Structure 1
Amino acid sequence: MSHPRPLHSAALRLHLNSRLLRMSFAGTLCACAIIPPTWAQQAPERAQYTIAAGPLDIALSQFAAASGVTLSFGSTQTQGLTTPGIQGRYSFDEGIARLLAHSGLQARQEGVGRYSLVKTPSDSTLELGATTISGSALGDTTEDTGSYTTGPMATATKLALSSRETPQSITVITRQRMDDQNMRSLEDVLKNTPGIAVTKAGPHRATFYSRGFTVENLMTDGLSNDLSHYLSRDMNSSPDMAIFDRVEVVRGATGLMQGSGNPAAAVNMIRKRPTATPRVTVTGSAGSWDNYRTEFDASSALNESGTLRGRVVTAYQSKDSFQDFVSAERSVFYAITEADLNEDTTFTFGASNQDANNNDSWGGLPVARDGSDLHLKRSTYLGSTWEYWDQDNTTAFSRLEYRFANNWKMLLSASKSWSQLNMLGSIPMRTWQSDFVEWGQNIGRYEYKDQQNSYDGYVSGPFSLFGRTHELVVGASRRELTFNGKGLPIDVETNTNLYRPTGIPKPDVSATPWTQHRTSQQEGTYITTRLNLSDDLKLILGGRLDWYEYDVDTRWEGKSSASSLPNKVTRHLTRYAGAIYDLDAHHSVYVSYTDIFRPQTELDAQNNALKPIEGKNYEIGLKGEYFDASLNASAAIFRIDQENRAKELNRNLCTPRGTTCYEAAGAVRSEGLELEINGSPAPGWELGAGYTYSSAKYTKDSNPDNVGRLFSTDTPRHIFKAFTRYQLPGDLNRWTIGGGLYRQNTIYKKGTNSADAPPPHAYRIEQKAYTVTDLMASYKASENVDVRLNLNNVFDTHYYQAISANTDYGNNLYGAPRNAMVTVRWEL
């Protein structure tokens, strides 16, 4: 339903000024975009080469050095391959084509004087053109590949390794799959990522889980942002996908790259990069509940030589909801410039902003006293029209890459982000004045500001030892967080009629008795090596040392709480070990151990901070790679032990006696199985599917009754996710059809109501197992225009995507009913 979105005059002026600035910047870039790149059109120069027959990797290194270019490739790409060598005068393209003849590899130009090796697809041809050898084998960029899988990725170890070469469970959600399934936010992506569960504590308060534990870091281009505190998650949890090429997910303990966190997963969003070839894409969408969206994406070389490249992406979305009164709008702006300072050095700088304004409540729908469903309509909204949840996120980032001789490189990266949340909302709450029978509202008004800085630098490259080529990464990182928040919660008796709700007048919530100032810093150094022990056996070893400091000052009416004590972790060692053995040309078996630490704020009997929680991940798996790596499959069994969890002590042991203190003695064990397949089983057919079983249980706890029980009952243990697309053959090849399936087991929360309340005292809140089915069809109307229809929840399944933690507060959130969206995409 349509309704007004209140904007104050000052905010409106800022909004319009921001839009005008963005339009002017976009216009400047678009004007530059008409300049055609010419670095790929230079006349080829011939040079004299004398390269002997022998191992391909040695010959390629000699050829690159003699040509004065950088040629990047992994040792596994050329393993066991030889070349007849070359003698005579050749252009670069002619020479490398002869060296790579019959190798199944081809060179791809990445910039001025920079090339990489990729696999040659079976249907490609070798053309000795003016730029490089043609072909479209999968590299690390997924845009325009049409694939549901990708080539090398570096999220796990900083080494550029394929899925088969990585001794952990990984998933890459590509640009093509995001487009096919109309994924517009990170929440959409992770809902469709195998091994990831999404829960919510409110309409805009998503939390991501993997292997039973909360994901506490979000990475962008390999740089982490800290989401370990729920207040930071409130501001940063759902980036728009318009600016990203892909999302890489590594499941399990990922401390080697992230430092602190839970043994859950590393989620790494990879931004779109500028292209030297001019391209413009305009996309428009319209869907159910007045859901409208536009996107504009332009990229090109910005000078005649092609050494300066730029890209700009903008998006705007406005939508209502299946819930009464609820609406939202979101704007996105992204600009990036990439400059080749010389043939060895590339500098990147960019910035992005996402502004989201949501007219929505803080909570959801309540349940009965025994936890049973009240069967409220999906359109039910128990808030008021004055409620809002507004987020603003701005990021500036830079990167400097320097390429040394012999395929060594140095990469320095930095980002700075500013996040802000302004909210005024309500949660349905049982009132004690009515013996917990009637419903009132808990109303909160809060303002949060969060600034995070992240830095990382490393060198990597090959080295020779015992007649074999190995790889090494050495680096250091630092990240900083500063948070400031203030606000006020109040309880209001409203005697809400759940079946005929009406709003209430806006209360006075101008006071800010609650304040919090929080800081954290983490510095780390790391090293990773990939040892080529034999043609079939690789060993990856890594280690990291971290220094961590945390301080929080939380106050109510100026009085500091007891939790406001600083915490420090010094020289914490994180370990990584993995071995991969190639069974044959298509299959590998692996085993790995990884760990991660999480600082604690709880105090022991002497009022010292507890030692960090440690998460240890043990994993064994089988990986397959088929059809020139266009199809990847994996199976993994894992066990995670999270140790040193805070376990409450007898209060007589605390200082002073009678206060609360803990020991680092609690433990949780998670065990499970993951099966996954991604890529192209046949021409025109793309498939992404995964099944996960994960069961996390207490093995030690301050409450002996918890031992053996599930650690989290409101996250599913069984999840199956699949989506596929197929391009019809012959005269129908303009049509592509697809569909998806999501299935999860029953989730629940159970407990005991207040003893002061009337019976029933026991409750069980439950969402039974359910299945959601989606369909997709697209039609290529012309060379430049594609039309796509997405039909979601085809059978209109009624389900809760999240359930309440207890019966006192209403946080049940319905999943979306059947809905549709039509998207038209024009590309030049």
Structure 2
Amino acid sequence: MMNSGNAMLLTTADQASVHPAIGMRNQWIRHLVATTLISGVVVTSPWQAMATAQDTNVESIEVAQSTLVTLDIPAQELDRALTSFADQAGVKLFFPSEGLNGLEAQALQGEMSVDAALGALLSGTGFTWRYTDGGTITIQKVAASGVNVLDPVRVDANAIDEQPDGPVAGYIASQSQAATKTGTPILETAQSISVVTKDQMEDQGSQTVMQALRYTPGAFTGQVGASNRYDYVILRGLVDRSIDNIYLDGLKTMSDDSTYSSMQIDPYFVERADVVKGPASVLYGRSSPGGLVALSSKKPQFEQQGEVEVSYGSRNQRGLGFDLTGPLDDAGKFAYRIVGKADASDTQFEGTEEERYTIAPSLTANVSDDTRITLMGYFQKDPEGGTHNGLPSEGTLFPRNGQYISNNFFDGDPALESFERTQNMVGYEFEHDFGDTWTVRQNFRFLDADVHLDQVYQEGWSGASNELSRTYGGGDESLRAFTVDNQAEANFATGDIDHTVLTGFDYQNRKTENEWQFLGASNLDAFNPVYGNPGVTLGAPTSSNSRSLEQSGLYVADQLAYGNWRFSFGLRQDWLETSNLNRLTNVEQSEDRSKLTKRGGVLYLFDNGIAPYFNYSESFNPSLSSDASGKPLEPTEGTQYEVGVKFQPEGSNTMLSAAAFHIEQENAAVYNNSTFAYEPIGTIESQGLELEARTDLTESLSILAGYTFTDASYDAPGSVKDGNRPQQVPEHMASLWGHYRFLDGALDGLGIGAGVRYVGETAANEANTITVPDYTLVDVVLNYDLTQLGMNNADVRLNINNLMDEKYVSSCLITQWSDNCYYGEERTVLATLRYKF
């Protein structure tokens, strides 16, 4: 490990041993400089191991100087040429952190020594290079004797250059574009953001996006217990539309609470999940006031790499995945990526299964130095989707006739249980630079999904017996949608104020069609179930609807930097049209609406890494759902005040944050099972505190810690809910995760991780007279690098979630129309073997 902040002195003797050289710094290097200085941690290449003794050092330098390498570097900006040289020669290279501007490098092709290549790239430039420990090559400006040269920044072959929507090495991201749609350091963003990286998802054995967020402050993911069919994420206590806050590559996945065909993304296909807390409508249009989850797809890389993994675990869970990427030509113009996965498993609930097949191809074309386009596809088929049912509180929270229902019990019937979903997405990301000031982008996606559903579910106890009354619901549904976001970003200064101005226009079009039947079904003994006779006779549809939504929005935002001050302002105007056609009665109801939303924030960045901030933001979220008369629901509107502080100690790879917030969400609604429609219930107020710590304490030890306090209540005069706490919202949540990697000795290559998740009590019914008990779960992971056993590039991982096999109810939703409690996931064990190449 090395700290890149130390100044270096070029002595007279050093000057005699080096050659003239020159360099420049472009945006790519600026990102790397920022990342390196913030983290204070440098990832080394295999050269580092050679610097164990002076004799070894001298020998390695001699080898490096004379080693022949094959190069194919086109004429281009010098910093890019040097980066390509480091990759192709497999060497460590240090760049100056200042003074590299506006220089070009000649093309290099063929076989030559490392020294000859550097001489050709840097000849006559006024810069120098020299070999340091282990054969490291340091690029330095020629300086007069006794004058310090510029601080170096290392560029390693295979090192990750962190992008605000790209992969992150380890658990701690330094940048995010989710909250601003621009690449902005998290420390300098006046809003609470948590980033779940790919490494964290893998170490914690996350099989769904819900599971990936289990250790994220402010996020509750236990709304439907052990069901994996959809990704329900409750952010900051706002339960309404908890299925509607997932975004992919900056665009809404177009899910909605009115449809069963909501999209679900497998976490194997994403690099990271950025959780933005609080309203984000100014940039994204319709969205929940609690926040959003921004997923970033795996995209093509210009370095050849790949992996294949196989997994097997409890409940006969088995999977096969692959991830291949690399360049398609020698000039570095085109790169591809293809990611695929097949998964299948029995579920916790008797007689139900999950099965999924997914493939995601993508292609990146660097049309020119200023123009880039990435084409992406995502194709998923779920032949089986498990179950989504709940059970009565009597028998789960407390006994029924002296007995508790098993947490493996299934209240439906395998003879009439199916969930088949096909979802397809195609789109592109286009970007063009107009000089150093303007950049324009267009992101587009078309998607469609089809669902066939058959399910029998309980509706409460039948009299005093142990039998459950049941109902059948099923049918077919289709979703067709497309969304496009046009952006223009300008970076300029007015006097001492730096501006990042973003303007945009986006459009969403969404249509769903469905036909459903709701019929009576036979009773089932909950303690001695006999399946195979659901008692359902299918007939004509009892419900058929066609719903559509069109939304267009015009937005502008400005981020200003003045000294240590950071200011942000934004405005958005939305225009919305919705319609709901009852195809059985041929009655259509439609509405046109418009809404102006605003946001603003201020942050002060102290030199010691402390950054207090304040923000105000608004949200606007229409729905395709209807009330009992068929009239579309009023859009929910949210406002938030947030104050917080972030701290990133200088020279450390640590991020600490605290945020206090107050949100009001108007026009909330709840589903009425007896009318199959929604009923308005007034305003929800949510306020609370979130604490988060992410740190690499040492090169071996990483720790995540979080705490959430949420005080939510209804403001609904005249309703039984008035002043009460919403169901499925814990008041307290806490989590702690640690992972230790052995780097030497007999245990070299072994990683051990463990975590504890605590979820406090939640309200089970509207009157708050019944509560769901708190619960604590333990997760562990063991990783081992099989290189230590002679199996190069292979590793194995064992995940055990809910180690103690705690039996618990994760949440309940008891209303005057329904009584549903959801058992949490039992202990799961999953072993994964991976080979990288």
Q: Which amino acid aligns with 2:740?
A: Y
Residue 236 of structure 2 is aligned to residue 211 of structure 1:
yes
Equivalent residue, structure 2, for 1:300: 326
3-state SS of 1:188 partner: helix
3-state SS of 1:235 partner: coil
The separation in 1 between residues aligned to 2:134 and 2:167, in whole angstroms, is 17
Distance 1:155 1:480, change over 3 A: same
Distance 1:126 1:805, change over 3 A: farther
After superposition, give the CA deviation of every residue in 1:411-437 in whole Å (9 maximum; x if it has no partner). 1110011111111011112377x5898
Q: CA deviation at 1:365?
A: 2.5
Equivalent residue, structure 1, for 2:376: 350
Distance 1:376 1:603, change over 3 A: closer
Equivalent residue, structure 2, for 1:677: 693
Q: Give 1:180-199 correspondences, 5 Å limit.
A: 180-198=203-221, 199=223
Residue 197 of structure 2 is aligned to residue 169 of structure 1:
no
Gaps of 5+ in 2: 1-18, 38-74, 84-92, 108-132, 141-152, 671-676
The one of 469, 472, 476 aligned to 1:443: 472
Q: Give 1:415-426 correspondences, 5 Å limit.
A: 415-426=445-456
3-state SS of 1:803 partner: strand
Q: Which amino acid aligns with 1:805?
A: I
3-state SS of 1:200 partner: coil
Q: CA deviation at 1:332?
A: 1.0
370-379 or 135-144: which moved more? 135-144
Is the Cα–Cα contact under 8 Å of residues 143 and 174 in structure 1 kept in the other structure? Answer: no
Question: What is the number of equivalent residue pairs in this alignment?
Answer: 710
Q: CA deviation at 1:240?
A: 0.6
After superposition, give the CA deviation of every residue in 1:559-598 in whole Å (9 maximum; x if it has no partner). 257xx5212112x211111111023331110000111113
Distance 1:793 1:544, change over 3 A: same
The one of 820, 828, 834 aligned to 1:825: 834
The separation in 2 between residues aligned to 1:504 and 1:259, in whole angstroms, is 47
Residue 116 of structure 2 is aligned to residue 92 of structure 1:
no
Equivalent residue, structure 2, for 1:777: 782
Q: CA deviation at 1:677?
A: 1.4
3-state SS of 1:140 partner: coil
Residue 155 of structure 2 is aligned to residue 134 of structure 1:
yes
Is the Cα–Cα contact under 8 Å of residues 750 and 784 in structure 2 kept in the other structure? Answer: yes
Equivalent residue, structure 1, for 2:90: none
Residue 778 of structure 2 is aligned to residue 748 of structure 1:
no
Equivalent residue, structure 2, for 1:620: 643
Distance 1:596 1:436, change over 3 A: farther
Q: Which amino acid aligns with 1:101?
A: P
Distance 1:153 1:144, change over 3 A: closer
Equivalent residue, structure 1, for 2:40: none
3-state SS of 1:817 partner: coil
Is the Cα–Cα contact under 8 Å of residues 47 and 90 in structure 1 kept in the other structure? Answer: no
The separation in 1 between residues aligned to 2:827 and 2:637, in whole angstroms, is 43
Equivalent residue, structure 1, for 2:742: 728
Distance 1:182 1:521, change over 3 A: same
The separation in 2 between residues aligned to 1:582 and 1:284, in whole angstroms, is 46
The one of 410, 413, 418 aligned to 1:384: 413
Equivalent residue, structure 2, for 1:319: 345
Equivalent residue, structure 2, for 1:101: 96
Q: CA deviation at 1:357?
A: 2.4
Is the Cα–Cα contact under 8 Å of residues 430 and 436 in structure 1 kept in the other structure? Answer: no
Distance 1:123 1:515, change over 3 A: farther
3-state SS of 1:527 partner: strand
Is the Cα–Cα contact under 8 Å of residues 762 and 811 in structure 2 kept in the other structure? Answer: no
3-state SS of 2:279 partner: coil
Distance 1:93 1:341, change over 3 A: closer
Residue 706 of structure 2 is aligned to residue 690 of structure 1:
yes
Q: CA deviation at 1:371?
A: 6.5
The separation in 1 between residues aligned to 2:801 and 2:530, in whole angstroms, is 29
Residue 592 of structure 2 is aligned to residue 573 of structure 1:
no
Is the Cα–Cα contact under 8 Å of residues 164 and 176 in structure 2 kept in the other structure? Answer: no
Distance 1:480 1:443, change over 3 A: same
Equivalent residue, structure 2, for 1:668: 684
Equivalent residue, structure 2, for 1:597: 620
After superposition, give the CA deviation of every residue in 1:594-650 in whole Å (9 maximum; x if it has no partner). 11113378999x999887432111001010113646321100110112235589xxx
Residue 438 of structure 2 is aligned to residue 408 of structure 1:
yes
After superposition, give the CA deviation of every residue in 1:717-742 in whole Å (9 maximum; x if it has no partner). 21112322111242123111001111
The one of 641, 648, 657 aligned to 1:634: 657
Distance 1:218 1:716, change over 3 A: same
Is the Cα–Cα contact under 8 Å of residues 671 and 696 in structure 1 kept in the other structure? Answer: yes
Residue 607 of structure 2 is aligned to residue 584 of structure 1:
yes
The separation in 2 between residues aligned to 1:610 and 1:134, in whole angstroms, is 55
The separation in 1 between residues aligned to 2:496 and 2:190, in whole angstroms, is 24
After superposition, give the CA deviation of every residue in 1:490-539 in whole Å (9 maximum; x if it has no partner). 11232535334433156332422310100001101111111122x21111
Distance 1:628 1:519, change over 3 A: farther
After superposition, give the CA deviation of every residue in 1:470-494 in whole Å (9 maximum; x if it has no partner). 2111111111100001110111232
The separation in 2 between residues aligned to 1:140 and 1:661, in whole angstroms, is 42
Is the Cα–Cα contact under 8 Å of residues 543 and 573 in structure 1 kept in the other structure? Answer: yes
Q: Which amino acid aligns with 2:614?
A: V
Is the Cα–Cα contact under 8 Å of residues 200 and 206 in structure 1 kept in the other structure? Answer: no
Q: CA deviation at 1:187?
A: 1.9
Is the Cα–Cα contact under 8 Å of residues 665 and 684 in structure 2 kept in the other structure? Answer: yes
The separation in 2 between residues aligned to 1:770 and 1:431, in whole angstroms, is 26
Q: Which amino acid aligns with 1:776?
A: V
The one of 517, 526, 538 aligned to 2:566: 538
Is the Cα–Cα contact under 8 Å of residues 569 and 599 in structure 1 kept in the other structure? Answer: no
Is the Cα–Cα contact under 8 Å of residues 372 and 766 in structure 1 kept in the other structure? Answer: no
Residue 529 of structure 2 is aligned to residue 483 of structure 1:
no
812-821 or 161-170: which moved more? 812-821
3-state SS of 1:493 partner: strand
Q: CA deviation at 1:95?
A: 10
Q: Which amino acid aligns with 2:296?
A: I
Q: Which amino acid aligns with 2:422?
A: D
RMSD of the TM alignment (CA)? Answer: 3.9
Distance 1:223 1:750, change over 3 A: closer
Q: Which amino acid aligns with 2:237?
A: G
Gaps of 5+ in 1: 1-45, 52-59, 80-88, 113-121, 648-659, 753-762
Distance 1:179 1:76, change over 3 A: closer
Q: Which amino acid aligns with 2:297?
A: R
The separation in 2 between residues aligned to 1:784 and 1:602, in whole angstroms, is 51
Distance 1:279 1:408, change over 3 A: same
140-149 or 740-749: which moved more? 140-149
The separation in 2 between residues aligned to 1:708 and 1:765, in whole angstroms, is 15
Q: CA deviation at 1:236?
A: 2.5
After superposition, give the CA deviation of every residue in 1:252-293 in whole Å (9 maximum; x if it has no partner). 111112212321111111001111111110011110111111
After superposition, give the CA deviation of every residue in 1:179-220 in whole Å (9 maximum; x if it has no partner). 111112212113333211121299335532111114423211
303-312 or 207-216: which moved more? 207-216
Q: Give 1:7-26 correspondences, 5 Å limit.
A: none
Equivalent residue, structure 2, for 1:42: none
Q: CA deviation at 1:683?
A: 1.2
3-state SS of 2:367 partner: strand
480-489 or 318-327: which moved more? 318-327
Equivalent residue, structure 1, for 2:174: 151
Residue 747 of structure 2 is aligned to residue 718 of structure 1:
no
Distance 1:580 1:99, change over 3 A: farther
Is the Cα–Cα contact under 8 Å of residues 764 and 811 in structure 2 kept in the other structure? Answer: no
Residue 524 of structure 2 is aligned to residue 519 of structure 1:
no
The separation in 1 between residues aligned to 2:542 and 2:135, in whole angstroms, is 67
Equivalent residue, structure 2, for 1:651: none
